[in-house]
Structures are given as C-alpha cells and as structure tokens.
A = this chain, B = another copy of it.
Amino acid sequence: MSGHERKDVHNSDVPILCQACEARHKGICGALDPDQLVRLSKSTTKHVHAREDELITAGEEPQRYSNVMGGIVKLTKLMADGRQQIVGLQFAPDFLGRPFAGESKVSAEAATEVRLCSFPKTVLEEMMQESQGMEHRLHSQTLKELDEAREWMLTLGRKSAQEKVASFLYLVATHIDPEREIDDKPIVVELPLKRSDIADFLGLTIETVSRQLTNLRKSGMIEIENNRQVTVPNLAKLRNCTEQNLDT
C-alpha cells in the first residue's frame, strides 16, 4: 500500500469538507484550485433544510450563495392573486443563487429535504475575479438552465395534459441518476413534488394531474406505489408519451 504513490496524494490539500462533494467536480467548485478551495471552505457552512423551507425569497437579494448537495429545490413565481408557476427544479450539484444581479426574480424552496453548502456572496465574487474558470462554470450552468427553461416552455405551451404529466415523470426519472441510460429496466421514481406542486409546474390543476396519473397507470406506463413513489417499468415507452404523435 505504501511505497505506492497514490494519484490522489494532493487530496491532502483538499478540505475534508469538499473531498466527497459532487460540486467539487461537477459543480462550480471544480473551477477552483486547492488553495482557493481551502479559502472558500473556510467561510462555508453546511445546512440541512426541511421540506418547505424557503431558501431564497423573490424580491430580496440573497447574501449567500449555495451549492445543492442533496435533495431537490423548486424555483417558483407567484402572481398577485395567488396563481403560481414552478419555473425550475434544481438537483445536486447545482448552484443556487443569482450571480451579480440584484434581487432574485424567483423564490427557491426546498421541495424535499435539502442539504446546502453555502458561502458569502463576496467570497465567490473574489474568486470570480481571480480565475476566469469560475465565471465560466456559472455561465455554463446558466446556459443549462436556459435550455431547460425553454424546453419547458414548449411543454407548457404546446403539450396536452397527458404529455405534460409524462414529461414531468420523465424529467424526474432521468434526473435521479444522470448516469443511467435509457434501458428497459424498471425505475422506482421518488417524486419530489406533491400533486399541487406538479400542477404548478405543469400549468394544470391538481385534479387533472391526478386523472392523468391514473390514465398512465391504466395504460401500463407507470405503477403508483404511493403518493410519492411511482415505478416506471419502461422509460423509453414513457418518453414516447411525452410527445405523442396522434397522426394517422
């Protein structure tokens, strides 16, 4: 064992906090060198938030940024009369918080229990000054979110209720384990949202969501284990439901 220099010898420089962290590699922290990582980790706090905790309030300027370490965060917009729209879901190791920009235009709420790794705005801004890599990572994440938002605009504007619900299930199923390929093996999908949230994500009512889930169950696309768990026997088939071609 000894006598053999491990590739990871430099891990000794990496804060313990960060060693097992996804954000360290796939998230924004991947842009940092060990020195910066140490500095950042000094002002870092980890926190577990319960479901329903408000993480960012629309109209306020958050003073801290975070990496999502675990759990799922929902981003919402609210109208004066109470109508609501969920405009995005964030999974680990997504970055949470709006770079530069003053107040956030969306609220962020823990959809499940969420683990965050947070740090002051100022420290991140410092590191953005030092290395281009950091802004580049943030920019990449913003581009990804923009793609997702536009994809969802298509869902909201042009898909039927059935397609919407299938699209939601497909989205969640494919984000649980991003490595997984679309094969024929059944997947147990843990739903991060309750029906009313799913409705707010899809621009539907809870009743319609419920009915469409029932339809998908009856047509064998899914099995409903309980309110928060659905089994998808065949993901490829479910994907077909996200964009039905009703021609011919």
Decide yes or no whether A150 CB sits under 8 A from chain B: yes
Within the complex, which residue of B80, B84, B140, B157 is in contact with A245, where a contact is CB–CB below 8 Å?
A: B80
User: A98 — which chain B residues lie within 8 A by C-beta?
Assistant: 143
Interface pair B79/A154, CB less than 8 Å apart: yes
Decide yes or no whether A45 CB sits under 8 A from chain B: no
Decide yes or no whether A151 CB sits under 8 A from chain B: yes
Interface string of A55-78 (1 = CB under 8 A from B): 000000000000000000001010
The stretch from A10-18, A131-139, A184-192, A207-215 touching chain B is: A131-139
A152 to B155 Cα, complex, angstroms? 12
Number of copies: 2
Interface pair B149/A153, CB less than 8 Å apart: yes
A106 to B153 Cα, complex, angstroms? 12
Interface string of A122-138 (1 = CB under 8 A from B): 00000000001001101
User: A247 — which chain B residues lie within 8 A by C-beta?
Assistant: 81
Decide yes or no whether A147 CB sits under 8 A from chain B: yes
Within the complex, which residue of B80, B105, B140, B151 is in contact with A147, where a contact is CB–CB below 8 Å?
A: B105
Q: Given that A135-B136, A139-B135 are known contacts, is A150 also in contact with B79, CB under 8 Å in the complex?
A: no
Interface pair B154/A157, CB less than 8 Å apart: no
Interface pair A85/B142, CB less than 8 Å apart: no
Interface string of A103-132 (1 = CB under 8 A from B): 001100000000000000000000000001
Tell me the A residues contacting B by CB distance below 8 Å.
75, 77, 79-81, 83-85, 87-88, 98-101, 105-106, 132, 135-136, 138-140, 142-143, 145-147, 149-154, 156-159, 200, 202-203, 243, 245-247
Within the complex, which residue of B80, B85, B136, B140 is in contact with A153, where a contact is CB–CB below 8 Å?
A: B85
Q: Given that A105-B147, A245-B81 are known contacts, is A99 also in contact with B153, CB under 8 Å in the complex?
A: no
User: A145 — which chain B residues lie within 8 A by C-beta?
Assistant: 146
User: A246 — which chain B residues lie within 8 A by C-beta?
Assistant: 81
A98 to B132 Cα, complex, angstroms? 19
Interface pair A150/B80, CB less than 8 Å apart: no
A87 to B157 Cα, complex, angstroms? 10
Interface pair A146/B142, CB less than 8 Å apart: yes
Interface pair A202/B157, CB less than 8 Å apart: yes
